[in-house]
């Protein structure tokens, strides 16, 4: 320990003080125990855990988040609290996944949610089932296939462990808030694993997905995992484009564009946006009324008036403007909001294939964070 003043961070029984000392030292904070007979700790009424004064900020972050930094038995899954709400974060271990984690932890800290890292991986066995022809099958023996599956699973576990250590390091340095988190590794097609996890875990309140830059999304038009999740997911989703270094939390959002169809779904989307945002936060909300042949001009005018009155009455801390959109995508590029909000209707698989949803189409044309609200 460097020379300097020692300060007491906690007073515990001998057993608890020893556990805390071990916890701190495992995370690089040297600690000492004082005022105790170490040879016969039973007679001790209290033990001081002391650290170097310069280590206090780091030590406090560790002490305040024992669930994150405590040494756990890796053979046992992390227990979840009944009724605990979660934020699902699918990851591929890229830099954009880590940036999405920063956004996820900020939102989770605001709402008291647990973050769940999810990674899905394909092994030869499950991949070969999807082969379209013999030429696409994995040319491996059964033994080789088994070994390949083991190696792929081991690699996924190692990369998840590396990501978790990186997250812990960021929490220790104060770069990310201390939020409970756990991880899940699943074998299978990513979008199917995500949908199945959400179906089996009703505690998920939001899913956050990192996306590529628009210039790179063109290569993924037929197979974007994010697009498939947006089309099929029935919970709120937030996309975080890579390269958006300014966007680290919803507190950074100042302007929002809501794509409106002048229907009741707009009210649901606004309510969902308001619940997710920090309480009392001011937003400049531009409601973009999309072209529609459903209503006559007089009906459209009445719907705009009703929407405007609803917005001003229920969200006085927001500033609203309504405008018509000549072209959906061009209007978004011209406005350049910090966040796009899209009410998203559920479609069956056939409709999604030939007529993808609005959120799906916007995903491939903008580099703006997007919140998709299922309606």
pLDDT in tens, 157-200: 999 999 999 999 999 888 999 899 999 999 988 988 999 999 89
pLDDT score at 297: 59
**Of 3.30.70, 3.10.310, 2.40.50, 3.40.720, which CATH number belongs to 6-69?**
3.30.70
86-234 under CATH 3.30.930.10, yes or no: no
pLDDT score at 146: 73
Which of helix, strand or coil describes residue 72? coil
pLDDT in tens, 257-280: 888 877 778 888 888 899 999 888
Same fold, 6-69 and 86-234: no
Question: Contact at 8 Å (CB) between 349 and 335?
Answer: no
| Separation of alpha carbons 227 and 358, rounded Å | 10
pLDDT in tens, 42-79: 555 678 888 888 888 888 888 887 777 765 444 344 44
pLDDT in tens, 11-46: 888 888 888 888 888 888 888 888 755 555 555 567
Task: Return the half-sphere exposure (C-beta side, CA atoms, 13 A cut-off) of residue 51.
Answer: 25
Give the chain's length: 375
Listed by start position, the domains of the chain span: 6-69, 86-234
pLDDT score at 55: 85
Question: Contact at 8 Å (CB) between 253 and 335?
Answer: no
Q: DSSP 3-state helix, strand, coil percentages of the chain (rounded to 5)?
A: 45, 20, 35
- In degrees and rounded to multiples of 5, residue 286 shows phi and psi of -105, 115
Average pLDDT over residues 94-98: 88
| Separation of alpha carbons 282 and 266, rounded Å | 19
pLDDT score at 357: 64
pLDDT in tens, 197-220: 998 998 999 999 988 755 554 545
Give first-to-last CA distance, the chain, whole Å.
58
């Amino acid at each position: 320990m460097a020379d300097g003043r020692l300060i007491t961070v906690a007073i515990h029984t001998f057993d608890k003080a020893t556990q805390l000392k071990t916890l701190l030292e495992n995370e690089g904070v040297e600690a000492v125990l004082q005022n105790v007979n170490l040879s016969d700790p039973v007679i001790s009424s209290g033990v001081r855990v002391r650290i170097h004064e310069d280590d206090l900020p780091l030590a406090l972050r560790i002490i305040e988040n024992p669930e994150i930094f405590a040494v756990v038995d890796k053979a046992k899954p992390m227990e979840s609290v009944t009724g605990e709400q979660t934020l699902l974060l699918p990851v591929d271990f890229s830099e954009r996944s880590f940036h999405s984690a920063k956004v996820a932890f900020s939102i989770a800290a605001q709402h008291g949610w647990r973050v769940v890292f999810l990674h899905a991986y394909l092994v030869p066995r499950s991949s070969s089932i999807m082969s379209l022809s013999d030429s696409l099958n994995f040319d491996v023996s059964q033994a080789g296939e088994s070994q390949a599956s083991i190696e792929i699973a081991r690699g996924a576990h190692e990369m998840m462990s590396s990501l978790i250590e990186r997250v812990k390091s960021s929490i220790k340095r104060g770069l990310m808030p201390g939020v409970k988190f756990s991880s899940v590794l699943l074998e299978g097609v990513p979008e199917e694993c995500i949908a199945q996890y959400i179906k089996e875990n009703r505690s998920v309140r939001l899913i956050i997905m990192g996306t590529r830059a628009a210039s790179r999304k063109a290569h993924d038009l037929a197979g974007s995992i994010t697009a498939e999740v947006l089309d099929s997911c029935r919970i709120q989703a937030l996309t975080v484009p890579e390269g958006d270094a300014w966007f680290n939390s919803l507190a950074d959002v100042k302007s929002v564009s809501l794509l409106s169809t002048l229907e009741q779904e707009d009210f649901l989307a606004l309510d969902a946006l308001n619940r997710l945002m920090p309480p009392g936060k001011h937003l400049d909300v531009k409601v973009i009324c999309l072209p529609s042949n459903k209503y006559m001009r007089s009906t459209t005018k009445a719907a705009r008036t009703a929407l405007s009155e609803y917005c001003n009455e229920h969200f006085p801390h927001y500033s609203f403007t309504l405008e018509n959109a000549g072209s959906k995508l061009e209007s978004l590029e011209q406005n350049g909001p910090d966040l796009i909000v899209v009410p998203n209707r559920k479609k069956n698989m056939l409709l999604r294939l030939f007529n993808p949803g609005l959120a799906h189409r916007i995903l491939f044309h903008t580099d703006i964070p997007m919140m998709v609200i299922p309606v």
